[in-house]
């Protein structure tokens, strides 16, 4: 598991992939920070975090797109399937690598709350519980998105198909909230309940919900498990 | 053991099943008592697999890649360095170990793939067409390597090249259209064509064909003599005899008594090539299953 994890992390940072993702991500966060915090004169960073949640829809599938498809393209899938390591460990190793890259990105954004701390006038409260809660929610949302797009990418051999279909599926999840709201019936309620982004937005306005935390963790675990099942299924011709 | 068959016969599929990459729809694979489906961890530890396309991570250097493989195959920490050094010197990759795999030539990539299969010192080596796409010098080197390894490992090698089987294998299985068509040792295939041994003989000095034929037939042990053709003043015959008696000396003596000279005498053993083509073309009707 650790072996796979180390290799994936190495491969992220050996290629320009990780740097491009981080660069793009930081640019988005910087822009959102400008709009939501500087222009509004707000000391709450959670407003910015709230806004960048949507952009994860496009960033996360880029993180996960090559984890599985590259193995198939290089023929190294054979290696992983014939080595004495069970498939679930391989899947978890890969998932953890993607989560770690995401954590690195998240930690880099700490620079903005720190910036706020320097900019505010004396006496203002910074580093609030709301910011802290938002970060927890942000990480949870990221983990859930990574699990979904990893699962989607387990269906294809091509990186670009993996990325595009990942974005599409995450968009569907994104729209679930508004579709559910407009339906209004019981199905609508289920859809709203399932929508990951809406739960995250609760975090960013200051409601720390344990149920949502559990929701995210089970949601992620379920999709990682489905990825494993899908890969095992493919052994049978 | 050589695994021989025309393109599309199912060689690679069989190898993929043997190594646990694919699940069989029926039947089972047992390696040293471990079933590949029931106890995959134990069974897979015993196998080193070199697929048709070497499974390489292009963005790693050779040594990084091999370290990754030894972690993957959970080689004990202490043995790792020594084992990798041994493999690198055996495969002659020492000079390349710091190079990125994507910058290596095809021959070197194949060797890295080979090195990968050897990591963990598995009992069984499964090699899927190990010499395809290499130049003749590299082919000879790889064959030498296989020859050196066969004393310590059980090697299953698939190929559609017959000389390869001749060069490195002790036993052969021929498959065609997913079925085993024939099995046996290489010498079984080439020599044991019934109990008859045959040779070609060219005779000069005879005044006429029947005269030479009569002399040959008179030698002890000769069962049958067929005239083939005249080449200038030489008469060429096919001679058949019982396998256990070597009649060549008798034939030679008889001919020299009759004042005739032997200018060529050459045994006819069927080559693996002919046998292979026979088997593959005959199997269309009479298929035998495993």
Minimum distance, in Å, between the CA of residue B59 and any CA atom of chain A: 7
Tell me the count of A-B CB pairs closer than 8 A.
72
Do the Cβ atoms of A236 and B22 come within 8 Å? Answer: yes
DSSP letter, residue A169: H
| Interface check A73 vs B, CB under 8 A | no
Rg (CA), chain B: 26
CATH of region B194-267: 3.30.70.3190
Q: What is the ipTM of this complex?
A: 0.81
| Interface check B70 vs A, CB under 8 A | no
What is the reported pTM? 0.79
| Interface check B130 vs A, CB under 8 A | no
Site of tokens 């930081």: A26
Which stretches of chain B are assigned E, i.e. beta strand? 2-4, 30-31, 34-35, 47-50, 124-128, 154-159, 171-176, 179-185, 196-204, 222-231, 234-242, 261-268
Q: Which residue of B has its CA nearest to A16?
A: B59
Q: Convert the pLDDT of each residue in B131-186 to its tens digit.
A: 887 888 888 888 888 888 888 888 988 887 777 777 788 888 888 777 777 777 77
A235 vs B23, B59, B60: nearest CB: B23
In tens digits, chain B (290 residues) has pLDDT values of 788 877 777 888 888 888 888 888 878 888 888 888 888 888 888 899 999 888 999 889 999 999 999 988 888 888 888 999 988 888 888 888 889 998 998 888 888 998 999 998 898 899 988 888 788 888 888 888 888 888 888 898 888 777 777 778 888 888 877 777 777 777 666 655 555 677 888 888 777 778 888 888 888 778 888 888 887 778 888 888 776 677 788 888 888 888 888 888 877 766 666 667 777 776 554 444 33
Domain boundaries, chain B: 2-190, 194-267
- Asked whether the CA dihedral A83, B100, A6, A161 is positive or negative, the reply is negative
CATH of region B2-190: 3.40.50.300
What is the model's pLDDT at position B285?
A: 46
Answer yes or no: are the C-beta atoms of B235 and B262 closer than 8 Å.
Answer: no
Q: Convert the pLDDT of each residue in A143-194 to its tens digit.
A: 999 999 999 999 888 889 999 999 999 999 988 888 888 887 888 888 888 8
Minimum distance, in Å, between the CA of residue A75 and any CA atom of chain B: 5
How far apart, in whole angstroms, are the C-alpha atoms of residue A211 and residue A103?
A: 22
How far apart, in whole angstroms, are the C-alpha atoms of residue B42 and residue B85?
A: 25
In tens digits, chain A (237 residues) has pLDDT values of 788 899 889 888 888 888 999 999 999 999 998 888 888 877 778 888 888 888 999 999 999 998 888 888 888 888 888 888 888 999 999 999 999 999 999 999 988 888 887 777 665 565 677 888 889 999 999 999 999 999 999 988 888 999 999 999 999 998 888 888 888 788 888 888 888 888 888 888 878 888 889 999 999 999 999 999 998 887 654
What is the model's pLDDT at position B195?
A: 56
DSSP letter, residue B61: B
| Interface check A78 vs B, CB under 8 A | yes
Q: Which residue of A has its CA nearest to B25?
A: A236
B58 vs A10, A74, A237: nearest CB: A74
How far apart, in whole angstroms, are the C-alpha atoms of residue B91 and residue B112?
A: 8
């Amino acid at each position: 598991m650790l072996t796979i994890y180390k290799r994936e992390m190495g491969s992220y940072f050996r290629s320009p992939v990780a740097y491009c993702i981080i660069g793009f991500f930081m640019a988005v966060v910087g822009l959102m920070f400008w709009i939501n915090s500087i222009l509004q004169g707000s000391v709450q960073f959670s407003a910015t975090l709230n806004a960048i949640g949507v952009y994860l829809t496009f960033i996360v599938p880029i993180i996960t797109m090559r984890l599985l498809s590259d193995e198939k393209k290089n023929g190294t899938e054979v290696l992983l399937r014939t080595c004495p390591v069970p498939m679930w460990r391989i899947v978890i190793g890969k998932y953890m690598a993607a989560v770690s890259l995401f954590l690195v990105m998240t930690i880099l954004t700490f620079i903005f709350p720190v910036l706020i701390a320097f900019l505010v006038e004396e006496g203002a409260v910074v580093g609030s519980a709301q910011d802290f809660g938002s970060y927890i929610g942000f990480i949870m949302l990221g983990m859930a998105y990574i699990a979904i797009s990893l699962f989607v990418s387990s269906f294809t051999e091509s990186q670009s198909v993996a990325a595009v279909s990942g974005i599409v599926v995450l968009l569907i999840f994104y729209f679930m909230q508004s579709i559910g709201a407009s339906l209004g019936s019981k199905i609508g309620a289920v859809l709203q309940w399932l929508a990951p982004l809406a739960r995250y937005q609760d975090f960013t306005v200051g409601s720390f919900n344990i149920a949502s935390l559990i929701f995210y963790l089970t949601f992620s675990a379920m999709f990682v498990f489905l990825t494993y099942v899908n890969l095992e299924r493919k052994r049978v011709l | 053991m050589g695994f021989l068959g025309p393109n599309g016969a199912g060689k690679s599929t069989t190898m993929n099943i043997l190594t646990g990459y694919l699940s069989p729809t029926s039947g089972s694979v047992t390696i040293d008592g471990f079933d590949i489906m029931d106890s995959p961890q134990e069974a897979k530890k015993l196998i080193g697999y070199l697929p048709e396309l070497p499974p390489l991570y292009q963005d790693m250097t050779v040594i990084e890649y091999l370290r990754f493989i030894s972690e993957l195959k959970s080689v004990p920490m202490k043995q790792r360095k020594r084992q990798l050094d041994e493999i690198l010197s055996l495969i002659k990759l020492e000079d390349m170990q710091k190079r990125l795999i994507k910058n290596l030539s095809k021959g070197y990539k194949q060797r890295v793939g080979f090195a990968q299969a050897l990591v963990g010192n598995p009992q069984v080596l499964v090699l899927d067409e190990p010499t395809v796409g290499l130049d003749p010098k590299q082919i000879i080197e790889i064959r030498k390597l296989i020859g050196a390894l066969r004393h310590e490992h059980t090697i299953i090698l698939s190929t559609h090249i017959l000389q390869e089987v001749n060069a490195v294998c002790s036993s052969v299985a021929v498959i065609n259209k997913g079925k085993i068509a024939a099995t046996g040792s290489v010498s079984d295939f080439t020599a044991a064509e019934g109990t008859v041994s045959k040779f070609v003989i060219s005779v000069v000095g005879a005044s006429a064909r029947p005269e030479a034929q009569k002399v040959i037939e008179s030698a002890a042990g000769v069962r049958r003599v067929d005239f083939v053709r005249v080449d200038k003043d030489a008469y060429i015959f096919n001679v058949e005899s019982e396998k256990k008696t070597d009649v060549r000396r008798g034939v030679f003596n008889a001919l020299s008594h009759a004042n005739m000279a032997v200018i060529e005498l050459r045994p006819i053993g069927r080559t693996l090539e002919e046998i292979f083509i026979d088997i593959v073309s005959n199997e269309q009707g009479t298929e035998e299953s495993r």
